[in-house]
Amino acid sequence: MRTNLLDFTLPALTDWFASMGEKPFRAKQVFRWVHQRGVADFDAMTDLAKSLREKLKEVAEVRPPAILSEHRSADGTVKWLFDVGIGNGIETVFIPEDDRGTLCVSSQVGCALDCQFCSTGRSGFNRDLRVSEIVGQLWVANQRLREMAGEGQPYRLQPATLTPETLTPDPSPLGEGRGESIDGRPVSNVVMMGMGEPLNNFDNVVAAMSVMLDDHAYGLSRRRVTLSTSGVVHKLRRLKEALPVALAVSLHAPDDELRSHIMPINRSYPIAELLAACKDYLEAAPRDFITFEYVLLDGVNDAPAQARALAKLLREVPCKVNLIPFNPFPGSGFARSRPEAVTRFRDILVEEGYVAMIRKTRGDDIDAACGQLAGQVVDRMRKHTVRIHKTRHQEAA
């Protein structure tokens, strides 16, 4: 079996080249070809000696996950379903803005945390993704978005399409990096917010993010890469030491009783412990605040008293609050909060001195909105296959 070069960080690739008797600078050359230029054909790597190109063709390959399906929303959002083997598929979403393009990347096939309001959590869990399958989502997205641009489908929103409804507020993790220079790359920001809990695939996620940050690869700043976690506290401490990127925390409740009900992880890591870890993380974080994500569920966590409780709860943690109207999926058992309830919740937080923004739903017409990613998961926990629910386009076909 040939070695997939997408599995390597630059130091690991350098060691691999050394094991073949090649000099370190060769690894850097290949790394740039693969990630900066998106080249998978060794014959096209023209500054490599022909003998090395022939050797690489025998022992190596650049193999990202294959696209099973692709859907483009009316608002420009793109969703891919990737084949990761043995009946499993993962979903990746690209969200364009006028000045940036954000890729929502998956880290696991399914998720074991079973958050009640999340389609991925209802799908069960199969396995962790390999480094090549995480980085490969970014590699393929950049390729496809350039191809789509050549077909007249730009990867930035055009001025005529920009409205207050299509713009994502800056305090959202999707807005990290607004105002910084963009070099024209299709994907300028990455959020580890797709399928899975990133911290439960710690080593592979950290390795993949290090490739994203590497100046010889994608060259993203730590402010442009956001990891979203449900609160695996002991691994959050490890992330602070290993690779502190921008952090978003899925909170979704102002007290332990409710959070434990809708997010079982809270039974292991209650809110007080999680908030203490967040404060500690800020010592090394690239930004001076944590983004707390709060999905608003009608009649569950959207009352004014709960907004005031949340304001009191977060008082000691420098933060911004990202309010997310619930995006329904079949069998969820929850409903989206009424618009007036969402606005009232936001206004209470603002009155309490917080930066609180309501995230505009993007890509819901292709089931690509927050909480809707399901993929295709052969569930190893409950021993059955959970198929991605049909998009509206598929239902109409």
Annotated catalytic residues are 91, 370
Distance CA 55, CA 361 (A): 49
Q: How far is CA 115 from the centre of its chain?
A: 17
Distance CA 108, CA 90 (A): 8
SS3 164: coil
Q: How far is CA 214 from the centre of its chain?
A: 18
Report which residue type is found at 384: H
Distance CA 67, CA 195 (A): 16
Q: How far is CA 156 from the centre of its chain?
A: 19
Distance CA 360, CA 317 (A): 25
Using the Cα atoms of residue 297, residue 298, residue 302 and residue 306 in order, give the sign of their dihedral: negative
Distance CA 359, CA 321 (A): 10
Straight-line distance from the first to the last Cα atom of the chain, in angstroms, rounded to the nearest whole number: 40
Nearest to residue 17, comparing CAs of 63, 41, 48? 48
Q: Roughly what angle, to the nearest 10 degrees, separates helices 233-242 and 202-213?
A: 30
Q: Within a 10 A sphere around the Cβ of 367, how many other Cβ atoms? A: 26
User: What six digits make up the tokens of 202?
Assistant: 């710690």
DSSP E strands: which ranges in the chain? 3-4, 60-61, 66-72, 78-83, 89-96, 101-104, 108-110, 125-128, 189-192, 225-229, 246-250, 290-296, 319-325, 355-358, 377-379, 384-386
User: What six digits make up the tokens of 275?
Assistant: 């908030």
Instruction: Name the phi and psi angles at 238, rounded to 5.
Output: -65, -40
Report which residue type is found at 113: L
